[in-house]
Structure 1
């Protein structure tokens, strides 16, 4: 499967030579600086099988069509090829494509490595040479990205994290690394997830309306500056995940839409090829050349840029033919169902290729439905289960949890199933608990604003929510600003309000998240067995009278569990008994009500000794003081 060539809709074997094997198409397609018979210049190749004529226009010929005509390769691949002597690094270009009918159109190169900074739309000749210095990280990456490793991800939109310098709108990749690396080290996050950095014409799409599937956006710098950004984070021991979008693309005139005058990359029928929710186009995943193009893009970012994983956007929209559509607005599959069988085959092929080439990365699905086996091994062709992702966002947990923390605490005891239901299916997939950018936009308000109560209660609730999240099975993802409780909904046109950190409650929330990460990373019980029932045990699931929940987390060493206790009400609980499996002194690792976090300072003076009083099916028990609206973490005796 991995070495399948761009076989073409007719399965022409000669396409292997012209378009290259999967994962290597970008090495021959697009524009490449090289010598041809001793003459320096650039070779151009573009797939436009239905064009009448193609030429390359750019700075090297005054943008004159016909000055450098491309010629079809002899293998009937639909690829046009030509060499432009004298073309050099940094020059801009496009393809002038003459369709069979209608006027010529000027298109950006689908394989371009760089594009002009929007609103300009030209492609740029670019040499991707770079000397990497992250050998130590790459040697350790398998362990760092393992399912048994801690993974606490900071989701970042680079254009709105901090303001630009010296009159620039954005921080460049270099300046971003200068400020981000010490911040992530201070906060203890293991990875950063970058919202899409592939080139996109509309900044307000946040990168999700991609036109450059091989071009890093020029808003923040050059390809080498992005490589150095990743390199520097790796040298600091921080992984970098890229948000990647194969689920749709915009209809901008310079992009992939009707590329050669026909629906080349997208379906022609709008019932298959148009996204009503996003007003964008849908890839034709059943066309070999299109599937190869996307697989090649994924492998390109992982290989050329050393990204440690891809978060694949909009997987649910790919899997269902009736996604965001009413009856009569979609075409059933060959069995009469609503599953997109071509997208299923593509996703399986994508994940198979990625893990074969890069077994030490993670493929992460944003998938919001109950599709079976998203993060399970690739299934048989005649089944739907098993898409081959490594991880999947747990959006059900997110919805249930945010709903619970918006409730009046006096009545939360009657709704503990909001928080317990997720454990019914918690081990059916390899889940990431995500509180992403999607939860703080479009009128939803910030995470802090979504909590119940007055200002003090909202912060207490937010700290408890994070305590639940870091104690709960699953990897973690938090969108920027959530770590200190930003008050405003995220706006991509503004930067985060860092001045809030002068307020003790905001500063306390930030310190709480940093300490959660510190304890999380230093206690294997909290991360080693995230995806099996062996790593989790309920002690108290439904104490509706007191609004209390408690559970144990354990790693491979079951003798050293961590106890997580949640008091979801504003009442202090004195002498609350909880059964535990180990006799001795249980040390209080974390208390979200501690004064240093902005809490009221109620606690257990650093720990509690067990009593030989059976409780909750355990031979020993603790009598704890449970602070109001708080989370406690206690470590078993060693």
Structure 2
């Protein structure tokens, strides 16, 4: 579904048509879903039948290898979405009744089926199953040269209940006897093997309960994952958009949510997941603008709803990406505000591929507003990646928040990020206590080139105002004009640049 045409795309089409976009946008890693063979296209690849087969509906194994090689030549890592949390129930093409034994790979009795997913649960306590899954990890690394894995459904693996109906409010909830020690042992072994086979490999856990130690090194008693998904962040944004008036968005809540993580674990932050974009739900931009995207997304024809949606979409991405402590994930299309939802071909929609694609033509059309969002995303990624090679080297330091004014400011190194979430109030001369010196604007969400109003003069170099009480700490007052619903990034100018 990564291509524009209303059909199943191929590995070759992705390499030729989509990969160049990823390169131009500045991303350095792609996570590919639905690689392992699966009977039902609409399962998003999560009901796997053949764990050692690259899906033939997208092309040949050699064509997949060519895609990965092309990405590597461009300096882009390729992560595989690995599904070892369950398997499809199909018996003809799957493992459901392999050799006439329904329990050869799966738990017997009440633990045999995953009722919520209509699938089968691996018996991680069997050596043969461990060997099968571990060899599967090694196979994809060595045969196809993948750079690592995003392990799907880790929460489901960790708990006998699959995490369903349980609240995880304290450490006692993680160590109360409800944990599947077999699965925990497998995940730890998998991480050890993956990093032994390929020391540069990346492993990411899709885990929602917050299990301690998941992304801690094995030597420190952890499971050995390199990253865990910050699944709270996209849920927070959807909940905020659906339930809160713009006037009630609280910067203190935003900052806490996007930085709420253990200091010793790296996370993958993101604004929108593929699950939230499925039929029955809406993409992030569609939550903000809805049907007005059909009628008022041509440049010059925008209404208030469109202006609001464009402004908030940029601010949400900037505040999420700039506070990362591990990585930033973008679901394909969110970078330019892909509309509508995802709906795979099925009987209910007449087996249509209309919504099972990415409409790249929208961002390519300079008469539409999509390119504003796409251009902003490209420049944001390049800014965060180019800043002294890696912005993650610098901690996120809160400078100021005021829920009444709806103002948030924080710094990373010499970069200062300032957000005004107020829908109606602009501020003249709003002051912040920052290291004294000169500051220049390096990005502004309100710039006209990104579909904003261009209310501030970004060519002005801002100087801190002297304050004798702040001088002893090497600080001064930086006073800025902050238009409503906008964010600005400034860089403190070094002495030799002044």
TM-score tier, shorter chain, comes to 0.7 to 0.9
Q: Deviations over 1:163-203 (max 9, x none)?
A: 27xxxx33322222111232112211111111120100110
CA distance in 1, matches of 2:124, 2:388: 41
CA distance in 2, matches of 1:379, 1:342: 19
Candidates 387, 404, 416, aligned match of 1:545: 404
CA distance in 1, matches of 2:205, 2:256: 23
* Compared CA separation, residues 516 and 173, structure 1 to 2 (3 A): same
Q: Is the 8 A contact 1:405 1:465 kept in 2?
A: no
Name the counterpart of 2:204.
364
Name the counterpart of 2:65.
227
Q: Is the 8 A contact 1:547 1:569 kept in 2?
A: yes
Greater RCO between the two (CA within 8 Å, min separation 6)? 2
CA distance in 2, matches of 1:411, 1:371: 31
CA distance in 1, matches of 2:181, 2:280: 35
1:42-441 correspondence to structure 2 within 5 Å: 159-163=1-5, 169-254=7-92, 255-262=94-101, 263-269=103-109, 271-323=110-162, 337-378=177-218, 386-406=222-242, 407-413=244-250, 416-425=252-261, 427-434=263-270, 435-441=272-278
Name the counterpart of 1:572.
426
Pair 1:509 & 2:345 matched: no
Q: Which has the larger radius of gyration?
A: 1
* Compared CA separation, residues 598 and 336, structure 1 to 2 (3 A): closer
The alpha-carbon deviation at position 432 of structure 1 amounts to 0.3
CA distance in 1, matches of 2:183, 2:45: 22
The alpha-carbon deviation at position 604 of structure 1 amounts to 4.2
Pair 1:629 & 2:485 matched: yes
TM-score scaled by structure 1?
0.67
Unaligned runs of 5+ in 1: 1-158, 328-334, 555-560
CA distance in 2, matches of 1:302, 1:200: 20
* Compared CA separation, residues 633 and 163, structure 1 to 2 (3 A): same
Q: Deviations over 1:328-369 (max 9, x none)?
A: xxxxxxx97110110000000000111111110100100011
Name the counterpart of 1:127.
none
| Structure holding more strand per residue | 1
Name the counterpart of 1:443.
280
The alpha-carbon deviation at position 237 of structure 1 amounts to 1.7
| Structure holding more helix per residue | 2
Q: Is the 8 A contact 1:245 1:313 kept in 2?
A: yes
Name the counterpart of 1:527.
391
* Compared CA separation, residues 601 and 615, structure 1 to 2 (3 A): farther
CA distance in 1, matches of 2:389, 2:74: 25
Q: Is the 8 A contact 2:2 2:18 kept in 1?
A: no
1:453-532 correspondence to structure 2 within 5 Å: 454-474=305-325, 475-492=327-344, 493=353, 494-501=356-363, 502=365, 503-524=367-388, 527-529=391-393
**What is the RMSD computed on CA atoms of the aligned residues?**
2.2
CA distance in 1, matches of 2:48, 2:412: 41
Q: Is the 8 A contact 1:298 1:354 kept in 2?
A: yes
CA distance in 2, matches of 1:233, 1:526: 21
CA distance in 2, matches of 1:524, 1:272: 51
TM-score scaled by structure 2?
0.86
Q: Deviations over 1:204-255 (max 9, x none)?
A: 1011101111100011111111111100111122111110100000111221
CA distance in 2, matches of 1:626, 1:296: 56
The alpha-carbon deviation at position 465 of structure 1 amounts to 0.4
The alpha-carbon deviation at position 569 of structure 1 amounts to 1.1
Q: Is the 8 A contact 1:400 1:419 kept in 2?
A: no
Candidates 599, 602, 611, aligned match of 2:452: 599
CA distance in 1, matches of 2:333, 2:24: 15
Q: Is the 8 A contact 1:578 1:615 kept in 2?
A: no
Secondary structure in 2 aligned to 1:523?
helix
Q: Is the 8 A contact 1:567 1:631 kept in 2?
A: yes
Moved segments of 4+, more than 4 Å? 324-327, 614-618
Secondary structure in 2 aligned to 1:449?
helix
Q: Is the 8 A contact 1:484 1:508 kept in 2?
A: yes
